[in-house]
Every structure is written in structure tokens, then in C-alpha cells.
Structure 1
Amino acid sequence: MSSEHSTHSRNPRSFPYELRTFPSRLAEGKVPEEVAAWQQAVSLGFHGDATSAEEAAKYVASEEVDGRMCTGAYLKDSAAPAGAWGIEYPVATYAYHRKGLNVGAGTLLPVHQITAVTVRPSHRRRGLLRAMMGSDLAQAKAAGIPIAALTASEATIYGRFGFGVATHACDIEVTVKGGLEFIVPAAASQGVVEIADPTVVRDLHDGIFARVHGASYGSIGRHDMYRLSSSGQGNYGALDPVKNIRAALHYDAEGAVDGYVTYKPVQDSGRSAVEIVDLLAATDAAYLALWNFLGSLDLIDVVKWGMAPVVDPLEWAMAAKRLYKRTGTEDHLWLRILDTPGALAAREYAVDGQVAIHVGDPLGHASGIFRIEIVHGKATVTRCPEDGSVTAGLSMGVSELSSLYLGGVSARTLQAAGRIREEEAGAVADFDSLFAASVSPHCLTSF
């Protein structure tokens, strides 16, 4: 996430800042002053409430679980004007933690997750984001992390750093007045759904998400705060429990919990509505059963959800498909390949074949000519000489390759958009046949 709007590099001699990186962790049960000042700068960037000492301690305890590392840009060799925040407060912030990305075939690829990116309005256009991003991506590459990732608050910032949109999330409204009718009722009636206290979800979250994450192509690891936000027990900006949140659990045939939904009533211009806070289902049966439950809520006209997949089984399970409406679709997970051979060799492929691509990367991490040979669904990626002896069938930037990586968009579409170039006839079709995914990638994590 980012509050930065625009950056332009200046002469390094005019860069009056020092970048410092430190862990978000408690020291003898207290929040270190450096971490507390960094947190206040993040709250400023996202227009949040000033963080109290008690809140700061809870945030840091959660971030310590994730291994969050914080970077701040600090003024050096100068003093703040009288009355202004002192130089102990960073003028720009940046953080990362590392989890796994589901790239198919049971593989959770290590990924560098970037968050908390802000630049103070009075210090914009001075190359701060470029300095923080450039340094951090270089260190991630050196550490052997093949891909970086983020979810962006603004849409036009990160392409310039080589990030590309890899998944989307849909806002949906499902009309449930009178209940949901399913084409195959038995498919939505497996197992049992029962009401639970939301605090139970807090304790169940990690185990259920691990199952969902392991089975969901395009899923990325969640940070520890999700245990609280999913159960309405607090989130960044407000740690007070949500009083009107409700929870329901799905039990499979053996009586084990394999899914849940948390929801709350919302205002909706004359209609009675509930909004899904979080929905995790480890099986298709649990997913439809939880929606069947939501459709049975009395006095409710509409159920809303802001994290629905682009391709949703619910839409095709409902007898009245027109009662399922997408009210918006937005870019969600952005990826940035750092190690082209490592990233491409890690994901699964549906068919065998080969293609050669040329990748341009202004930061140099992923650039080169690469021959991709796939045998039995596994890729061998070879870096080729750039002396003219090897001709690439396709030319693209790292942002384009990062968008293509999970198969959420086709090379043909990006070619039509003017973003990739076919150097040899048939290369686009060859690439698409190799990179096509059997399921649409979907990510249920924001960070």
C-alpha cells in the first residue's frame, strides 16, 4: 500500500536523507522510540488516527510474528523548523515481510511483500520512493527471493518499478431476499453451518487459511493482523472490537471446521444488506454452503463482498444468475519478478513446449533473453547470450512478464494493448498455451 503520488530522481548530491532499516519488535515489552515514531509517520501517510502507546504495542507484537522490517528516510545534517516534527520522525516509510505465493503444484514460492509505503507531502518529488524501492528490491534479490509483491492503494505508481497486476478482486452484490436457489441444491447443502462467537474465528483463522492458501492458485500469505481483522477484534487504525459482527462456521461430514464467514449489517440506500468481512472455505462444498447460509438470513435483501474471485462458482451455482451482480473490479495483487529463471521454473504448466522471450528491466534484476522449455509440466529456464545468436520470439518488460506470470491475463491481450511485441510468428500463441492456468488466480490477502 502507498500514499506516494509521484517521484522523480534528483542529483544524488541533493538527497539530504539517510535510509535506516530496523525490525518491528518489542524491547523488554515496550515499543522502541524509533519504531513508535515510524508508526506515527505511517498513520500520517494513510490519514489514520495517531497511535496510542497501547495500540502501538499491539501492532508491534503482531508485526514481530511476521518478521516485519521497517525502513525510514530521515533528514540528515539539518534540523526541523521550530514546532515541526523532529528529525526522529521519518519523512518516508516502507516495510516488508516475507510469506509464500501459491504458484501451483503445491508450491508456495517465497515472496517479498511490501507495505506501509508513504512519503510526507512536504518531501515528495525528491526521489525518496525510488531510493527506498531500489535499495529494498536489490537486497531482496541478493537474498534469493524471486518475486516481490504488494497491494496498491493507487494504480499508477508501481509499474515504473517493474510491478504488474497479477490478480483482480470483484465487488459483488448477491440478491438473497427470499433465499438463494441453487441449480443443484445438494451441492450447497453439504455439511452443517452454525453460528459462532466471532472470537472463535480469531483462533481458527490461521489453520483454515493455511488450507485455503495451499489449495488456492494465486493466494499469498496473510500477516498476523488478519486473525483480528477477520474476527472483528481490531485492525490497523482501530483496535476496538466491532460490536455488530457475526460469524458462522461450516462443519464437514466428519464434524471438522473447514470454513467460516464473518459479516456485519451495512447501510445501503433503502435495502437491508450485510457485508462479508471475511470468507474462507477450504472446499467447494464449504464455499457454497456458507453462501447458502447467507441466503437464509432473515430481513436481508442483499449480501455484499469486496473480495470475490473473477471466476466465481457461486455465480454458476445460482438458479437466477442475474441476481449475482459485479459492481466493480479492481487490480489487487501486484507482482514484480526479481529472478526470471527462478520464478518461471517454480510455477506449474499445463502443457509441454518451448518459447524464447526477451525481458527488459530498468533496474536490471530480471532482464535478459531466456529460453523456457517445459517437460511434464516443469520448466527449465536458460539464460541465453545477447550477442545475436539467439532470437527471442517475444519481447516484453518485466512488468508485463509479472502480469503474465500467473496466467491472469494473456500475451495476446497484452499484445493488443501494445505492451508486448511478437518477434516470431506464432510466439504469442505458443506463450499463451504454455502459461494458461486451469483456474483463474485469486488472492484473498491485502497488505
Structure 2
Amino acid sequence: MSPSNEEVAFPYELRTFPVRLVDGEVSGEVVQWSEAVAAGFYGDAVGAEEAKKYAEFEQLDGRMAMGAYLSNGETPAGAWGAGYPVATYAYHRKDLNVGGGQLLPVHQITAVTVRPSHRRRGLLRAMITADLARAKADGLPMAALTASEAVIYGRFGFGVATHNCVVEVSTRGGLAFHNPEAASRGVVEVADALVVKDLHNALFARVHAATYGSIGRHEMYRLSASGQGNYGQMTPVKNVRAALHYGDDGEVDGYVTYKPGEPAIQIVDFLAATNDAYLALWNFLGSLDLIASVTWKMAPEVDLLEWAMVAKRDYKRTETEDHLWLRILDTEAALSGRHYAADGVVTIAVTDPLGHAAGTFRVEAAGGAATVTRSADGDAVDLTLGVSELSSTYLGGVSARTLAAAGRLTENAPGGIERFDAVFASPVSAHSLTNF
């Protein structure tokens, strides 16, 4: 019996499996999948030992790997065998700070690659649609990713929700503050960067709980923040330095790790659970001798440092880039799960190319919470927008007014855009410190 046209057109098998150790060892399947991921991101070649190190941390995250494999098992002589996936994908599940002390469960997508020789064959679409359907079935209200390429994921319903900035702060001669006392509270001391490996999880939990738009970190951050290794390169970096901030209670409430390089240094990781810790650690960085500037690639769009400095022009944004992409899967759960700063009522019609979030919904916000109900077809609608656009507005990162001007949504009733923006606006700028 000859294969069908569909089988010929898509000669791949999708397999999903946990990344974990079995009897203390990593399987060949995980090693080959890890090697394919490393190749896709141009990292170092991955052997069994490196894959084992990855798996030790990924098992703690509950990471699940997906691979697309040639279903006929045939590869040319000398090429990677059929045990190596031609496309990779993975997910784990953490949570997102949606304001008001609320953390919403989120499906985090990572490790997405397609081998160049197998592109434009529907592999990404097959993996992402299967995965999003599984996440929706599992009750996850939202998916998230950070994108290496920014033009791919909109067609699957993802929208940019936060941005990060690359900043260069001139520190020659030290930093002068409008209120020097505000940047001198507590104590800052130098520490071995290895200490950060043990401090990271508890301190990030505090920062995460206090930061609107923050998304959970994976376990590998304990290594990367302390310079002990990262995906693509597990060799420790020798010249990573650390400073800790101690609050009035004597407990660590912030740290910064950085790589010196006269006349500039680059921040590796910066966690501060309080404004006092944040400004005091910047004050420390400004005091380093022979250093002309400090560069940070994860600065927020709205940074209190910029407004604390006397010389505001010494704070330069050299790049602003999309960072966290969100994708609503369950509109009622996602919209009722977030915090609302203002009371109001708005009815929206949501379109979704994959169908997960589609429908007409009435959002009634009061006292910080919202009741979200599905409306019947034909009910009055304030505006119509796609799931990508709704996902971008979810944390208040863009207004409906701006999206309407860009031609990306439709106002159906007079004042509809104004009502939407009043309900969804946030007084706090969302910021995520997590890449994944």
C-alpha cells in the first residue's frame, strides 16, 4: 500500500519526552536532542557529560522536550542519524506576576530550532500547534516565550508584552544622586560569586513576587548568575565578581554580579528586592576605580536609577527590544486572573487563528479583580481584536488606542477604545528579568 499524500508531505514523527536522569544517567535520546538544540543556537558541542549537567537542572524545572524525527529513519551516509531530531522544542511551567500579589500559571516555551535543511516544511507549526493545544487542555491560561527572531510568533497568536533596554551608565568619578541618602541605605559588601548560586532562588522569589510582569526563572539561572555555566557553555567564567546588599535586618536583599573589563564592566545578573538595595548596588558600581561605564542588557523601560541620578544624560539607552511574548489560551481564565487598577466594564470580541481564545467576552472590573463572562453572538461589542493584540495589552504594555492607530484592532462602539484602555491600563510598567 503506497503512502498517502499527507504522509509524503510531512515525513516526520513528533515525540515528547521528559528531560531527566534515569538511575543517575542521561539517556541517548536526551543527549541527541540536546546536541540538536546546541547546534541550532550555535553553542558548544554537547556530549553525555554536558547533557547530564543540563538534565540535572531541567529535571527540577519539569522540562519536557519535543523533537521532530524522520519517520522513515533514513539519513544520508555520514550525516547525523535518525536519532537526532531535525527540529526541537521544549516547555516547562512557572508563573507570571500579573499584579496585586497574584501569580498566574504560565506555559513557557523554549529551545525552538529547525535544522536549515528541513525548514519551510511545516515543522514549527506542527510542534507549536500541538503544544499549545496540550497546554490549553491541561488548563494553562497562557503561554509565553522570549524570541530570538521577532517575526515568527505573531502568526501563532503571541504578542509582545514587555521590553528590555540595553543601558550604558557613565560612572567615571562616581554616580551623583539627587538624594545621596537614598542610595546609601543598608550595607554593600563584596562576595565570592559562588555565594550567589545559593542565594539566587530565594532572592529571585522575593523579586518575582514584587515585580509586575516578572516570569519564573528556570534552575539554570543559579549557574549563569554566578558565572558557573550556562546553556551552550558549561565552563565557569573566571572573572565574574559579586556584591551583596544587606538591609537593616542584616539579611541579603539584593546582589549584582558583573564582569570587569577596564574601562567598562558588564552586569551579569542584578536582583534587588527593594529600592534601597537597587540604588545602593548602583552606587557601589559607580564607585569602582578605573571604570568609565557600566552596561546592563536587562534594564527596565522605566528605571528609577535614571531619575535618581543628577546627571540624567549619563544614563543612555543604546537599545530597546521586545522581550516577553505572551499568548492567551483561555481568555476567561487569563483576564479574570490579572489585577485591575481601575473599575470599569468593556466587552471585546477576540479572534484567534488557532481557536483557543476566540469569543466575545464581557469584562467587569471592580476592586482590583474582574468577572469575565462569555457573551452570546450578537451582543453589543466595544472593540474587536486578535489574540496577539489582546496578549500585548494584557500587562498594559500598549494601549488599544495605539493599536487602533496602527490598524490592528477595530472599535465597534463609540468610546469602546477609551473604555478598554481605562480597564486594562496599569500604573506600573511591566518588566521581566528572565530569558528562557
Q: TM-score, normalised by structure 2?
A: 0.98
Q: Given that residues 331 and 357 in structure 2 are in contact (C-alpha distance below 8 angstroms), is that contact kept between their aligned partners in structure 1?
A: yes
Residue type at the aligned position of 2:184: S
2:21 aligns to what SS in structure 1? Answer: coil
Q: Does 1:348 align with 2:300?
A: no
Q: CA 1:252–1:78 in 2, change beyond 3 Å: closer, same or farther?
A: closer
Post-superposition Cα deviations, 1:148-202, rounded to whole Å, max 9, x if no partner, equal: 0000000100000000000000000000100000001111000000000000000
1:329 is matched with 320
Please list every run of at least 4 consecutive aligned residues from structure 1 whose deviation after the TM superposition is greater than 2 angstroms. 10-13
**Cα deviation, residue 55, structure 1:** 1.2
> Structure 2 CA distance, aligned partners of 1:319 and 1:201?
31
Equivalence for 2:298:
307
* Separation (CA, whole Å) in 2 of partners of 1:203 and 1:351: 40
**Given residue 67 of structure 2, which amino acid in structure 1 is its aligned partner?**
G
1:366 aligns with 2:357: yes
RMSD of the alignment, in Å? Answer: 1.0
1:438 Cα offset (Å): 1.6
Instruction: State the identity as a percent.
Output: 68
Name the SS for the 1:109 alignment partner: strand
105, 112, 118: which one pairs with 2:113?
118
- Kindly provide the CA deviation profile for residues 208-247 of structure 1, in whole angstroms up to 9, marking residues without a partner as x: 0000000000000000000000000111111111111100
Moved more, 424-433 or 75-84: 75-84
Alignment partner, residue 7 of structure 1: none
Letter in 2 for 1:138: A
For 2:116 and 2:22, the matched residues in 1 are separated by 31
- Which of 374, 397, 400 is residue 411 of structure 1 equivalent to? 400
- Between 17-26 and 237-246, report the one with greater CA deviation: 237-246
SS in 2 for 1:233: coil
- Partner residue in 2 for 1:443: 432
Mind listing any 5+ residue stretches in structure 1 that lack a counterpart?
Answer: 1-9
User: What are the equivalent positions in structure 2 for 1:204-219 lying under 5 Å apart?
Assistant: 204-219=199-214
Gaps of 5+ in 2: none
| Contact in 1 for aligned 2:393/2:424 (Cα 8 Å) | yes
Displacement after TM superposition at 1:266 (Å): 3.8
In structure 1, C-alpha distance between the alignment counterparts of 2:275 and 2:414, rounded to whole Å: 41
2:355 partner SS? coil
Alignment match of 1:293 (pick from 284, 288, 292):
284
Q: Distance in 2 between matches of 1:50 and 1:78?
A: 23
* Greater mean deviation of Cα atoms: 311-320 or 238-247: 238-247
Greater shift after overlay, 41-50 or 145-154? 41-50
The superposition leaves residues 6-53 of structure 1 with CA deviations (integer Å, 9 ceiling, x where unpaired) of xxxx95651111100000001111110111110111111111111122
Q: Note the C-alpha offset of 1:99.
A: 0.2
State the shift of 1:376 in Å.
Answer: 1.2
Report the count of equivalent residues: 432
Amino acid at match of 1:325: K
